[in-house]
C-alpha cells in the first residue's frame, strides 16, 4: 500500500498524538508514521500492549509466562499483519483439527468440522440437527466477505451499503435482526443454536433477542489472518504488541511510558501529561484516543459527550482461568492427528436455549457471582509444541461465562475450583496441575481500567454495534471523530468493529485521518 504524504499548512510533518498503546493505538501509529506523520504515543502503563500483555508465574522456582488479557489471535486482518511488518517477525499456528464440543450428559464429544458437509453429517448424528448447516455457512461467508472489504477499504458501515451488497433479506437476517431469529432460521436443534449463541454473549450479557445481536456472529468470524479461525503466536499472543512496538520505534514513533494524560487543549493542539512526577506537554495537529469511551469523554468531552459515554452499556461477564501442568495434559478424547492436543475444546453447562439465555442474563444481578454457561479451552501449551517452542509447563487458558462484576478472582476460590473440576473431567492427569489464576470482570476492570470489565469496552448490543459503534457527532463525514471535534478521534475497542477484531479500528481510523487531511 502506498501512502500520500500528510502535510500541515506550514509544510512540516503532521504531528499526531495518540493516547493509549494497546493494539489499536499501535496499529494506528504504524500506519500514520509510514504515511508521513510524526507520531507520539502516550501510555499510562510502564509497558506497551494494553490488554495484550504477558504476566509471569513462578512455580517451584521456575518462571513461566502466560497471557494476562487477550489469549488467542484470530480476528486481526491479514493485510494488517502483513503491512505493519508483523508477518516477517512472528510465527503463528492455527489448529485444523475439528473442535471438541461437550454438552451435559455426553460421553463422547461432537466434532465441529471446517467442511460444511462433514459438519452437517456430524450435527445430524450427534445433535439431531436437520436444518440448513451448509446454507448457514454459505450465507455467513457472503456477509463476512462484505465486512472484510469494508475493513480493507476503511469504509464505515451502513445498512444501505449492506443492502446493496447482500440484499434486503440477508441484511435484516444477519445484521439488523436478532440472534434468536437468525438461529431459528437455519437450525432445528437447541444444541446447534447454543453452540453458535455463545459468540453473541462473549462480550457481555447480551440477550439473543436484542436487535442487531445477529451481527455478532459474522463479526466474530470476520478475521482474515486465519480465515475466520483462531490461532496462536509463537511464545504467546503478547508478542504481537511487543513486536509492533519495536517496529514502530524503528519507524521513528516516540513513545512515553508511565505517562498519564491529564488535559487536551483541542483549540491550541496541546496534550498535557504527567510522567515520573513531572508535567510534560506535546503539541499535535491531530489527537487519537485509543482508549475506552469514558476516558475519552473525561479528557476532551463536552457535558453532552460525557453524558453520552456514561449512558452506554459496558458490562462484561467473562472470566479467565489460567492453568499450568507439570506434565503434558492427557485428554480423555483425542485423535491420532498431530494437532489433537492443540484443538479447541468447548464445554456447555446448559442443554436448552432458554436456559442459556437465563444464565447469560442472570449475572446482571450482582448477588449472583457465577452462573455456569460455557467454557472455551485454549490449549496454548499444545500449540507451542506444534510450533517447536519448548516451555517448562503445559498451559491451558479457560475463557468462561457467566460472572458478575462483584468480586475479583482471589475472593472466589469456590468458583475457581468449580471451573477447574469441570475441565478436569476431560483430563486423565488432573493432579499434574500445579498452578492456576482466576481473573474476573472485576479484575479486568482494575487491571486494564475497562469500564464494566469488558474486553470490548462496551457490549455488542443494539445501539452499540454496526453503524452505531462510533462516538462521532457526524458519523457520515467523520466516523472515527470524537464528538464534534474535527481534530480528535477515538479508535479503540469501543469503536467499530470492536476490540476483538484486533487492530482494525486503529487501521480504519488512521485511513480516515490520512484521507480527510
Number of domains forming the structure of the chain = 2
Q: How far is CA 222 from CA 50, 490, 492, in A?
A: 22, 22, 18
Confidence of residue 483 (pLDDT cuts 50, 70, 90): very high
- Residue 301 has, within 13 A of its CA and on its CB side, a CA count of 22
Looking at the fold, whether 208 and 252 belong to one and the same domain comes out as no
Parallel, antiparallel, or unpaired for β 394-403 and 370-378?
antiparallel
Q: What is the DSSP string of 472-503?
A: BSSTTT-TTB-BT-TTEEE-STTSSS-TTSTT
Consecutive H or E run containing 207: none
For 471, the domain range is 15-55+234-313+457-516
Q: Is residue 465 part of a domain?
A: yes
- Mean pLDDT to the nearest integer, 139-155: 98
The span from the CA of 312 to the CA of 67, in Å, is: 28
Looking at the fold, whether 217 and 263 belong to one and the same domain comes out as no
Looking at the fold, whether 477 and 501 belong to one and the same domain comes out as yes
Looking at the fold, whether 147 and 209 belong to one and the same domain comes out as yes
> Which residue, 210, 227, 244, sits at the end of a domain?
227
**Within 10 Å of residue 250's Cβ, how many Cβ atoms?**
10
Q: Is residue 431 part of a domain?
A: no
303, with CB counted inside 10 A (0-12, 13-18, 19+), is exposed
| Closest C-alpha to 197, from 423, 398, 71, 350 | 350
Consecutive H or E run containing 440: none
CATH label of the domain that carries residue 482: 3.50.50.60
The span from the CA of 43 to the CA of 19, in Å, is: 6
Q: Is 195 helix (H, G, I), strand (E, B) or coil?
A: helix
Q: What is the DSSP letter of 13?
A: P
Q: Which has the minimum average pLDDT: 162-171, 323-332, 448-457?
A: 448-457
Is the pTM of the predicted complex or chain greater than 0.85? yes
Q: Is residue 304 part of a domain?
A: yes
> Which residue, 177, 212, 227, sits at the end of a domain?
227
Q: Is residue 208 part of a domain?
A: yes
Looking at the fold, whether 268 and 190 belong to one and the same domain comes out as no
Tell me the pLDDT tens digit for each residue of 364-417.
Answer: 988 899 999 999 999 999 999 999 999 999 999 999 999 999 999 999 999 999
- Residues whose CB is less than 8 angstroms from the CB of residue 126 and which lie 6 or more positions away in sequence, other chains included: 108, 110, 191
Looking at the fold, whether 477 and 494 belong to one and the same domain comes out as yes
Q: Kindly state the percentage of the chain with pLDDT values over 70.
A: 98
In the numeric block, the cell 489464576 is attached to 437
In the numeric block, the cell 447454543 is attached to 194
Ramachandran angles phi, psi of 396, nearest 5°: -125, 145
Consecutive H or E run containing 298: helix 293-300
Q: Is residue 109 part of a domain?
A: no
> Which residue, 179, 208, 227, sits at the end of a domain?
227
Q: Is residue 124 part of a domain?
A: no
Confidence of residue 501 (pLDDT cuts 50, 70, 90): low
Q: What is the mean pLDDT of the chain?
A: 95
Give pLDDT, residue 4: 35
Q: Is the pLDDT of residue 2 over 70?
A: no
Looking at the fold, whether 262 and 172 belong to one and the same domain comes out as no
Whether the CB-CB separation of 411 and 329 falls below 8 Å is answered with no
Q: Is 256 helix (H, G, I), strand (E, B) or coil?
A: strand
Q: Is residue 418 part of a domain?
A: no
Tell me the pLDDT tens digit for each residue of 62-109.
Answer: 999 999 999 899 889 999 999 999 999 999 999 999 999 999 999 999
Looking at the fold, whether 160 and 207 belong to one and the same domain comes out as yes
First CA to last CA distance, the chain: 18
- Mean pLDDT to the nearest integer, 183-196: 98
Q: What is the DSSP letter of 14?
A: P
Q: Is residue 100 part of a domain?
A: no
Amino acid at each position: 500500500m502506498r501512502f500520500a504524504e500528510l502535510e500541515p499548512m506550514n509544510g512540516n510533518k503532521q504531528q499526531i498524538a495518540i493516547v493509549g498503546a494497546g493494539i489499536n493505538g499501535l496499529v494506528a501509529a504504524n500506519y500514520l508514521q509510514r504515511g508521513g506523520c510524526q507520531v507520539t504515543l502516550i501510555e499510562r502503563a510502564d509497558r506497551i500492549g494494553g490488554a495484550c500483555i504477558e504476566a509471569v508465574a513462578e512455580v517451584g522456582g521456575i518462571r513461566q509466562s502466560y497471557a494476562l488479557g487477550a489469549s488467542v489471535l484470530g480476528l486481526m486482518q491479514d493485510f494488517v499483519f502483513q503491512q505493519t511488518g508483523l508477518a516477517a517477525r512472528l510465527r503463528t499456528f492455527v489448529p485444523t483439527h475439528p473442535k471438541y464440543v461437550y454438552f451435559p450428559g455426553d460421553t463422547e464429544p461432537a466434532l465441529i468440522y471446517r467442511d460444511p458437509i462433514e459438519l452437517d453429517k456430524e450435527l445430524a448424528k450427534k445433535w439431531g440437527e436437520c436444518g440448513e448447516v451448509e446454507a448457514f455457512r454459505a450465507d455467513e461467508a457472503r456477509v463476512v466477505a462484505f465486512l472484510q472489504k469494508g475493513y480493507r477499504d476503511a469504509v464505515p458501515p451502513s445498512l444501505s451499503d449492506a443492502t446493496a451488497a447482500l440484499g434486503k433479506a440477508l441484511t435484516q437476517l444477519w445484521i439488523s435482526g436478532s440472534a434468536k431469529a437468525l438461529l431459528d432460521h437455519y437450525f432445528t436443534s437447541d444444541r446447534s443454536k447454543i453452540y453458535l449463541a455463545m459468540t453473541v454473549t462473549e462480550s457481555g450479557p447480551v440477550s439473543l433477542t436484542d436487535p442487531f445481536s445477529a451481527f455478532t456472529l459474522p463479526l466474530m468470524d470476520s478475521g482474515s489472518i486465519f480465515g475466520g479461525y483462531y490461532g496462536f503466536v509463537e511464545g504467546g499472543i503478547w508478542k504481537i504488541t511487543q513486536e509492533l512496538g519495536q517496529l514502530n520505534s524503528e519507524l521513528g514513533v516516540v513513545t512515553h511510558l508511565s505517562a498519564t494524560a491529564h488535559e487536551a487543549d483541542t483549540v491550541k493542539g496541546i496534550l498535557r501529561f504527567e510522567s515520573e512526577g513531572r508535567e510534560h506537554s506535546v503539541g499535535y495537529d491531530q489527537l487519537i484516543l485509543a482508549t475506552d469511551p469514558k476516558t475519552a469523554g473525561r479528557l476532551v468531552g463536552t457535558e453532552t459527550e460525557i453524558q453520552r459515554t456514561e449512558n452506554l452499556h459496558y458490562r462484561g461477564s467473562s472470566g479467565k482461568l489460567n492453568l499450568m501442568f507439570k506434565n503434558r495434559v492427557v485428554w480423555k478424547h483425542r485423535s491420532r492427528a498431530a494437532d489433537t492436543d492443540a484443538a479447541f475444546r468447548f464445554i456447555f453447562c446448559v442443554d436448552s436455549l432458554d436456559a442459556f439465555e437465563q444464565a447469560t442474563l442472570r449475572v446482571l444481578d450482582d448477588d449472583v457471582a457465577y452462573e455456569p454457561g460455557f467454557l472455551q479451552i485454549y490449549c496454548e501449551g499444545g500449540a507451542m509444541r506444534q510450533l517447536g517452542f519448548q516451555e517448562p509447563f503445559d498451559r491451558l487458558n479457560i475463557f468462561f461465562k457467566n460472572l458478575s462484576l462483584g468480586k475479583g478472582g482471589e475472593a472466589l476460590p469456590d468458583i475457581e475450583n468449580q471451573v477447574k473440576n469441570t475441565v478436569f473431567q476431560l483430563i486423565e492427569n488432573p493432579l499434574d496441575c500445579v498452578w492456576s489464576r482466576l481473573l474476573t470482570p472485576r479484575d479486568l476492570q482494575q487491571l486494564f481500567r475497562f469500564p464494566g470489565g469488558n474486553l470490548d469496552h462496551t457490549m455488542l448490543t443494539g445501539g452499540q454495534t454496526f453503524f452505531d459503534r462510533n462516538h462521532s457527532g457526524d458519523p457520515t463525514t467523520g466516523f472515527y471523530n470524537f464528538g464534534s471535534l474535527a481534530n480528535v478521534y477515538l479508535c479503540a475497542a469501543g469503536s467499530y468493529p470492536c476490540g476483538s477484531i484486533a487492530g482494525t479500528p486503529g487501521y480504519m481510523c488512521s485511513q480516515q485521518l490520512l484521507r480527510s487531511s
